[in-house]
Amino acid sequence: MKMVMTHDKSLIKFLEEKAKVLRKHTLEMIRSSGIGWLGGSFSEAEIVTVLYFHQMKHDPRNPRWMERDRLIVSKAHCCEMVYAALGESGYFPKEEFLRYGKFGAILQAHTDRRTVPGVEYSGGSLGEGLSFAVGEALAAKIDGLDYKVYCIIGDGECDEGQVWEAVLSAAHFKLDNLIALVDHNKFQSTGEVSKKIRLEPLSEKWKAFGWHVMEVDGHNIEQLLDTLDEVGNVKGQPHAIICHTIKGKGVPSFEGKNLHFVKVTDEMYSEALKILGE
């Protein structure tokens, strides 16, 4: 897809800096908890940033506003980045970051819509989020509501049959208010995705199931903005954005490594603060 450079440079700079802030919040959460989902949270940073701080209509003062756009994070274990965005947006006090993972805290190691304001989907078992998102998008059509449903999916999740059942359903119902963003960071919990089940050609698979498909550098803010703008021009099809990302993106020594559920060592913490800011 050809990208058109149309967005104000100050907006791009703002979102780039916001992504850095969210990475720092995520780092602090994992550091405080003792362990967390570092690599996959860092790989989705720009995606989450663009959605919460530009693309989606939502209101931290009214988390259940009926007209709000929904974000379903199917890779719900990578919750720290989502919590960072919600706290930064004002859904709850940022002091909650340092209670992450502790007994009685609202922020735990998977998203829970019952306890965290702004969370739309209680996750845990991978492969189920897109099905939930299909239901939300179909409900909007039935109820005549004008909201969009965004769903972040891990590439490792695409091993699972339920994902492709949801893909079929979304195309059948012509859910053009549904946007799936695949965080294609090339790793899953136990190793490289390509060595577990080969997904390529991934874009062609989604196209064959009847989706409007785009590919972007998932860390390039302008590409993400342009691609999300294009979604509105295509009617009658759900939309898939294959976001090519790097696990651990944002701190050089983290990048391209399978930092899945990890402890942040003193050395990692010190290096990351130099990059992300004290």
Q: What is the pLDDT along the chain (278 residues), one digit of tens a residue?
A: 444 557 899 999 999 999 999 999 999 999 999 999 898 999 999 999 999 999 999 999 999 999 999 999 999 888 999 999 999 999 999 999 999 999 999 999 899 999 999 999 999 888 899 999 999 999 999 999 999 999 999 998 999 999 999 999 999 999 999 999 999 988 876 767 777 888 899 999 999 999 999 999 999 999 999 999 999 899 999 999 999 999 999 999 898 887 878 899 999 999 999 999 86
Q: 269, 209, 277, 201: which is closest to 237 by C-alpha?
A: 209
pLDDT computed for residue 50 by the predictor: 98
CB within 8 Å of 112: residues ≥ 6 apart: 119, 122
Across the beta sheet with 149-154, the strand order is: 70-73, 149-154, 178-184, 239-244, 212-217
pLDDT at 1: 41
Quick one: fold of 9-276?
Rossmann fold (3.40.50)
Full-model pTM: 0.94
Distance (Å) of CA 6 to CA 57, 222, 270: 21, 8, 37
